[in-house]
Structure 1
């Protein structure tokens, strides 16, 4: 393309077009994962759905690879593409709460923290993740699990409606009453089916919780993990706990005597009556912790607890699995490989049971309605020189525990080198229907910079 074509495209948008060599290009192309560096030809920073329609048409007609960027938190770097077009939605940030109907309409550039702030004023929340800087769009479209999932379901279970720009540049609203097959696909099928320009979510009560981290010495990790495995099976749905194997961060507010110690952490979140009593029962059942910061906490504060540990620009390499059981031999493998982690790296087990299990496998694209946990193994470090070591550690760890896990994983915990077999395993019996819908809404696979579902012919 010549610069005249790009200039004409820029004049057709309310938003901004940034090209190679333009002021701000390097900042605009930066990704959350510092391990990934891409150089798009054009970044279209859209202001509204009309801009998105124009951008989709421009990229398709010129056969450019297209990446969609929402909140910009994507681990494998799918928010950008070399020598192509980035449709950047980051400035489309509107949030409107309807307290009477308990819904919230959200722009695709919002982070979960921005939505939390708006809904918290009404004592409500959408079940999102555990880091408030995460983008709503990417988290939701691949499922979305977090502190409220056991009680209220996944983010996709609470997605009522979406406005979507399709591959042919047309605009469509998907709901259970209108274009229900598209809504079914959006509820877990990722960015494969179009560009979502507006989300409508159901909200739920969540104001003050009893929660926070309880940190144990790594010498007690096997006991804690066995307790956690057994407790999870009978935990009430308003009591969420995720487990981590990692190191105590080396800085305030953590006590200096524990900096960089390996640990096992339980992050508890009780959103109901009797939270303190429930957590005290845990305290009585487990070894004495190194640090216990669980207590009354606003939901918004719980959501931001770990933001500072994971700023943009760190080196990331992660592997995920869905997990149904955690036998002792698997615990042994976890502890062996977690002991080799660099200080910033971690393994987390997130519960995806409770309310998630009350929906059928075929009710939405998200197929994992009978698993117990979503696991992520994340190699994380600020030093670019650590990238090869992070990848090796995470891969070795995953290979050791994967035989005890299921075939698929949460798509948001997969890198760009997983392969079709892993993607198909993640969607299970729903994959053929997803491929058929991909063939209906995006037959040329225009939206392929993602965990790609290939269109059925």
Structure 2
């Protein structure tokens, strides 16, 4: 393995080990036997082959942003893709080749030089790999679909150590599974995405309301988004107002409502279209205006720092009636932690353009997607209260859920929850594809889909 592997091997005795094994969620403190920082697909193949020869469990580190912390594994081999972080843009073809260890901030910066973009994460430090393979929810999804909808091809290192290209023309079953099936089928070392016209200046930003207006704000937002044009991307978060200059001083540290808005198109037209939202209330702070698309993509960076304790859950809603809004607000407020963000994102638009059977990811008809994101300082004494609160909120919304979930929004909630994300037919097909490409379930340190018998 040493002769084949050209990257860096980091072990517990090395000075950079603790930093290399750290992930976004501060609750995760796993200690791999070795971290294999790869420089190529061949390095990835060597790392996987070596791990299998030594009987060690494999994890894959792309961005390390997933709440489960699956990027690292105790006593195993972490296949570290962070050295594969290239972003190569072909503006004429509207294509981007992106390394499996790149982050969305790098992709946004490179593509926006040409006024192009692909649906990416809502926090710029999010890894491309985990988001794209889990389907990829972002502010552009109502305009251009999920990230996986724009995936053209993927370079994949298999459990057997082979390097293959998956696309509609090459290994189409594998390509079908990669678009929403997560990291179960191989390690993607390079993605090729189709790009779309965006910006570079768009109408975007955030509206902020006091928490006591939450129900009225949510009802107005819900009614607007159910018929909104696909150029509008938006979500509402029940939060605690930060101690920032734009927040009126009496409201700082108090329950608040944040409405994030993006209009993909002419700014003046966007102002007209978004008027029912921007004029409602009126808001205590209106930060919506012309801004770079990359700034919209970074709006949530500051409230989502690395190292805090995180516990997440989520659900798709089949409807969001007044009774559901009441249950949501009544159970969220007051929050346990001022860092917590309870979020509802609107579906519709381009999300519904793709036929359900075209790829592993489905759940396209749900009008709303809930993300229960609890976050608190790294103090274990606060863990249980925050976890209990998250579960309480999720339980209160269950009467209005579809029974399915966007897996990137949840922690480790068991195999049944994974199966529910796909439904029985897709799950069965995914298990059969898994048997072809990873019969020994090498890639199991994730939201796992076990191979069929």
Q: Report the Cα distance in structure 2 between the residues aligned to 1:252 and 1:382, rounded to whole angstroms.
A: 23
How far the C-alpha of 1:184 sits from its partner, in A, is 0.6
Partner of 2:352: 357
Partner of 1:323: 317
CA-to-aligned-CA distance 1:412-451 (integer Å, 9 cap, x gap) = 11112x1111111101131111111011110110100000
SS at match of 1:36: coil
SS at match of 2:417: helix
How far the C-alpha of 1:269 sits from its partner, in A, is 0.3
Aligned: 1:393 with 2:389: yes
1:288-327 equivalences under 5 Å are 288-327=282-321
CA-to-aligned-CA distance 1:385-413 (integer Å, 9 cap, x gap) = 32222111111111111222121211111
Contact 1:10–1:16 (8 Å) recurs in 2: no
Q: Report the Cα distance in structure 2 between the residues aligned to 1:444 and 1:87, rounded to whole angstroms.
A: 18
Q: Report the Cα distance in structure 1 between the residues aligned to 2:21 and 2:121, rounded to whole angstroms.
A: 25
TM-score between the two structures when normalised by the length of structure 2: 0.96
Contact 1:10–1:17 (8 Å) recurs in 2: no
How far the C-alpha of 1:258 sits from its partner, in A, is 2.2
Contact 1:144–1:155 (8 Å) recurs in 2: yes
CA-to-aligned-CA distance 1:20-49 (integer Å, 9 cap, x gap) = 222211111111100111011111011111
Partner of 1:228: 221
How far the C-alpha of 1:259 sits from its partner, in A, is 1.2
- Which sits farther off after the overlay, 253-262 or 286-295? 253-262
Q: Report the Cα distance in structure 1 between the residues aligned to 2:17 and 2:405, rounded to whole angstroms.
A: 34
Q: Report the Cα distance in structure 2 between the residues aligned to 1:405 and 1:294, rounded to whole angstroms.
A: 31
Aligned: 1:119 with 2:108: no
User: Which ranges of structure 1 fall in alignment gaps of 5 or more residues?
Assistant: 1-8
CA-to-aligned-CA distance 1:68-95 (integer Å, 9 cap, x gap) = 0001211111001111110000111111
Contact 1:246–1:338 (8 Å) recurs in 2: no
Partner of 2:28: 36
TM-score between the two structures when normalised by the length of structure 1: 0.96
Q: Report the Cα distance in structure 2 between the residues aligned to 1:223 and 1:27, rounded to whole angstroms.
A: 45
CA-to-aligned-CA distance 1:75-116 (integer Å, 9 cap, x gap) = 111001111110000111111000111010000111001010
User: Which ranges of structure 2 fall in alignment gaps of 5 or more residues?
Assistant: none
How far the C-alpha of 1:129 sits from its partner, in A, is 2.0
Partner of 2:276: 281
1:341-356 equivalences under 5 Å are 341=335, 342-356=337-351
Q: Report the Cα distance in structure 2 between the residues aligned to 1:394 and 1:340, rounded to whole angstroms.
A: 12
How far the C-alpha of 1:11 sits from its partner, in A, is 4.9
Which one of 438, 441, 452 corresponds to residue 434 of structure 2?
A: 438
- Which sits farther off after the overlay, 445-454 or 406-415? 406-415
- Which sits farther off after the overlay, 129-138 or 189-198? 129-138
How far the C-alpha of 1:271 sits from its partner, in A, is 0.8
Contact 1:151–1:354 (8 Å) recurs in 2: yes
SS at match of 2:274: helix
Aligned: 1:268 with 2:269: no
Partner of 1:408: 404
Aligned: 1:136 with 2:136: no
Partner of 1:419: 414
- Which sits farther off after the overlay, 273-282 or 160-169? 273-282
1:14-29 equivalences under 5 Å are 14-29=6-21
Q: Report the Cα distance in structure 2 between the residues aligned to 1:216 and 1:15, rounded to whole angstroms.
A: 50
Q: Report the Cα distance in structure 2 between the residues aligned to 1:79 and 1:423, rounded to whole angstroms.
A: 18
Contact 2:234–2:262 (8 Å) recurs in 1: yes
How far the C-alpha of 1:10 sits from its partner, in A, is 4.4
How far the C-alpha of 1:253 sits from its partner, in A, is 5.0
Partner of 2:51: 59
CA RMSD of aligned residues (A): 1.2
Contact 1:94–1:110 (8 Å) recurs in 2: yes
CA-to-aligned-CA distance 1:220-267 (integer Å, 9 cap, x gap) = 111111122221211000011111111112245544332112112211
Contact 1:146–1:350 (8 Å) recurs in 2: no
Q: Report the Cα distance in structure 2 between the residues aligned to 1:325 and 1:94, rounded to whole angstroms.
A: 41
